[in-house]
Amino acid sequence: MTTPPHQPEPGSIRDRLSSPRPTDQASGPGDSRTSDVPESSFQNGDSAGDLAAHGRGHKQIHAAMAPEPVGLDRHAMLSDRDAKAAERKVASLFLLALLGVIGFVVTFFAVEQEFGKPWNTWFTPLLGTFMALALGGIGAGAVLWAKLLMVDEEAVQDRHDFGSSAEERAATSKALKQGLADTGLPRRKLLRNSLLLGAGSLALLPLPFVGFLGRFQNKERELATTGWEKGARLIRQNGTPVKLGDIQVGGVESVFPDVEEGTLRADSPALLIRMRPEELQLAGDKQEWAYQGHVVYSSICTHLGCPVKLYEQQTHNLFCPCHQSTFKADQGAKVIFGPAARPLPQLAISVDDEGYFIAEGDFSEPVGPSYWERG
Ligand code: FES
């Protein structure tokens, strides 16, 4: 059994759409169907260009060219059963958005982010998928809602003088209320509640980002430590350890700590340089940190973090290719040129029983660009 089509209320948008007033009856400021141009004007064959040429206003041209409003009342065309089915479809999309938000938040907090672990590969794609579900669910639900259940109205509104009269404001307020009624929200509980749940849950999306801001808070020296530790051998990129005698005087080697994922850690790359012991002019304890003319510095520039790998053996200068900061390798990597504000941190080294270079601990100060909590 089908329900008789919904009868439009007099004066509503639906009413106007199903029984549009003839153009010659329309009147009043702001009425989209009002035309200031008499019918005879068009019969004379005036084009828009002609009207403009004769000094008639933009408003007249617009009104002359505006199409007659057309409308399609989908409420009236649907049986109760079909309307319910459409409502369920839209509601399920809104609920899908809710699931997306829940998945996003749970993934962010439950999955441990650890570089190099297998699940780390899926972390970002999972977040992206859940966010797409959340935003896509709300978007698709809104589109389907508009296409299946809302009134389809095409309207043209002429530009008019600034400021509205009291009657216009009252009419606008009435039209807005009628528009809300036309969405069906007040009477369709399922739709309204699912929209509130789905769209409301979007407010939770930024939470993980806010939470992330505090992730490193109170983690002692999180930014001040690297992969280097006491006893860690100095290894090359290919994992082989560096032995005393492997490097000639004037030579350099990029080294990493022999710890898990040591060659992948962004904070640990260093440069092992060999010069004659008498050439080293290190201050205080730092002299002890070198070993028979071998000295190790962090190779992360203290300006903006570029790799400092260019070594000139005659002058013992180390160059950063990004902004030309220059460090004196024989004098504790002090800055002699460029924007870097402090020396490259030095790593204390020695040699183990088998003759391989080992670290005596971590860098004594944070590596890389300066930051405000260094002290
Ligand atoms: S990053 Fe090295 S000088 Fe700017």
pLDDT in tens, 3-37: 444 444 444 444 544 444 444 444 444 443 444 44
Compute the distance between CA of residue 153 and CA of residue 17 in angstroms, rounded to an integer: 8
Helix (H) or strand (E) holding 13: helix 13-18
> Which of 50-59, 100-109, 147-156, 253-262 is the least confident region?
50-59
189-201 vs 80-110: helix crossing angle, rounded to 10: 20
Residues with CB under 6 A from ligand 1: 301, 303-306, 320, 322-323, 325, 338-340
- What structural domains and CATH numbers belong to the chain? 73-213 (no CATH), 234-359 (2.102.10.10)
Q: Answer whether residue 274 shows pLDDT above 60.
A: yes
Kind and range of the H or E run holding 143: helix 120-149
Nearest Cα residue to atom 1 of ligand 1: 304
Q: Is the sign of the CA dihedral 107, 109, 113, 119 positive or negative?
A: negative
- Tokens found for residue 227: 């992969």
Q: What is the pLDDT of residues 173-228, one digit of tens each?
A: 999 998 888 888 888 888 888 999 998 988 888 877 776 666 555 555 667 789 99
Backbone dihedral region for residue 239 (phi beyond 0: left; psi -120 to 50: alpha; all else: beta): left
- What pLDDT band is residue 303 in, cutting at 50, 70 and 90? very high
Single-letter residue type at 281: Q
Q: How would you classify the pairing of strands 294-298 and 310-312?
A: unpaired
Distance CA 23, CA 177 (A): 25
Ligand 1: nearest atom to the Cα of 369: 1
CA distances 39 to 33, 36, 158, 293, Å, are: 13, 9, 18, 100
CB proximity list for 264: less than 8 A, separation 6 or greater: 115, 116
Ligand 1 mean position, distance from CA 330 (Å): 20
pLDDT in tens, 133-177: 999 999 999 999 988 888 777 778 777 777 778 888 899 999 999
- Expressed in angstroms and rounded, the spacing between residue 337 Cα and the centre of ligand 1 is 11
Residue 309 and residue 303 in contact, taking contact as beta carbons nearer than 8 Å: no
Section 289-299 average pLDDT: 95
Is residue 290 over pLDDT 60?
yes
Task: Name the residue with the closest Cα to ligand 1, atom 4.
Answer: 323
What value does the mean pLDDT take over residues 249-268? Answer: 92
Lowest mean pLDDT among 98-102, 219-223, 306-310, 326-330: 219-223
Q: CA-to-CA distance for 173 and 122, rounded, in angstroms?
A: 50
Mean pLDDT of all residues in the chain?
Answer: 79
Length of the chain equals 375
